[in-house]
Chain A
Amino acid sequence: MASTSRSYRNSQRASQSQNREQQRVGEEVKSIVKFILDHSAEKVAIKEKDMHVVAGGKDMLRQHLPLVVEELKRRFGIAFRLLDTSTPQNKVYICVATSPMVSIYELTESQRPQFTLLLIILLYIFLRDNRIEDQKLYEMLALLNIRLDEEHGYFGNDLKKLIEETFVRQHYLKRERSELSAYDDPKVYFQWGLRAKAEFSYPQMIQFASKLFQQDPKYIEQRLKATQSQQEQAEQ
């Protein structure tokens, strides 16, 4: 009898500690989620290393991450994505929306001009085969009277910093230097960043282009296809 009661007590103790375990796990998931929520507001990337402290170590973080990702998606509509440039030793994540923005009103008044400028840039990169030299981009912006070294009536000042630093840090744009040979000057190219790929779709870009140029979306698509096939023929 004694042994049965002991085993009963043991099993009770075991289930209690299991409950405590679950409780503790819950708290850790909560702290990680809260940490990510706090750090997602400015749209900058989050390093895995920085989450170790709140998670209680590297292994704990790896263990809880799937649930954290699930909770962020289900309750906050946030997709927690690993950046494509991160290495196994140095993992970096960004938070993106699980579905695209529906109207400009979802942005604050100070975010709206930045967003418009961003769309113009992303559209231009998209129309130019997804990769554009920085000087070409700036020439195009100058045609629209947007100059990096001058204050713009709508977009504000310090546009160079906005494009080359802020948009890049937020992973809307990817900036890379390329040096063809030691004799050439290095060139800087812009591409769509991971956040842009996650938050905007190509059909959306065509919609935006059709509004901007006041053309039918179908016309834009046709023109795009036509130029693409022309280029392909030229390459052959």
Chain B
Amino acid sequence: MEVKLGFLRACKNHSCLSHELIDQILTPLCEHHNVRKPSQLEDLKTFVKEIDESIGEYNQTLTFIKHPIKGKEYLVYAKTDATPDSAVGLSTMAAVEYQYFSILLDKIAQEDDCSIPWTGAYKDLGFEASAKPPKKNRLQVLLHKWCEMGYFLAEDDKIYLGPRSLVEFEFYLLTNHPGTIKKCVLCNNVVLWDIRCASCQEQIHRDCIHKYLQRRSHCPACNSLWTTPTRRSNS
């Protein structure tokens, strides 16, 4: 029990964790409490699921999500009833700084590939007329913090929606940006930056279609023969 609570506290503090970090936290924690570490991926998922179940009642969740941009899986601590203006961990921010978060989230979400160049995060933001926008160095500090928390993700001079935003704002993003953010036809979760059917351009999770094509050979959306390779290319 103590291991679970200790791990949950660490997850809440980090907000978004890679598998390497999970391992770095769990190894000493389990040694300290003298319990066996959930070493297999299956064990870890069960361990996390048990924690998730005990906090669900309070609209908090601990869940794994794959992020195709880095091709990595992350563990995310998120709220299930959050809107961009009430995001967790931002409680000591000024109102205009909440506004910046919402603006940034919308700005990225309305792009076709759900990303903007770094410079776009500091200009043409369109703060409300009455608001006094924060200085650029403050914006940089905030953006850095949100990237660390997994709300956004930086890769190759671009900023993408991060793993935590995909979990926490799934409903918000689907309802407010239906043009760019869609669900995977196979698993019904948000799908972004993943592979597309060559005929109908429907976007599907790589893992989902890979499993699906073991039994069938046609696209689940348009029923044409699936021709896009499902293996990740090394280029």
Contact = CB atoms under 8 A, between A and B. Distances in A.
B6 A99 contact: yes
B69 to A, nearest CB: 20
B174 interface: no
Interface string B53-65: 0110111100000
Contacts of A105: 10, 21, 24-25, 28
A34 interface: yes
B59 A108 contact: no
Given A42-B91, A103-B24, A108 B14 contact: yes
Given A37-B60, A102-B28, A107 B5 contact: no
Given A76-B5, A107-B13, A44 B92 contact: yes
B58 A33 contact: yes
Contacts of B91: 38-39, 41-42
B92 A38 contact: no
Nearest to B14: A108
Interface in A80-127: 97-99, 101-103, 105-111
Interface residues of A, number: 27
B148 A109 contact: yes
12 contacts: A37-B88, A41-B88, A41-B91, A42-B92, A75-B54, A77-B5, A78-B9, A99-B6, A105-B10, A106-B10, A108-B13, A110-B145
Interface of A: 30, 33-34, 37-39, 41-42, 44, 71, 75-78, 97-99, 101-103, 105-111
Q: Which 4 residue pairs are nearest across A and B when measured between Cβ atoms? A: A77-B5, A106-B10, A105-B24, A103-B28
Given A42-B92, A78-B9, 12 more contacts: A34-B58, A38-B88, A39-B91, A41-B12, A42-B89, A71-B58, A75-B54, A76-B9, A76-B55, A77-B8, A106-B9, A107-B13
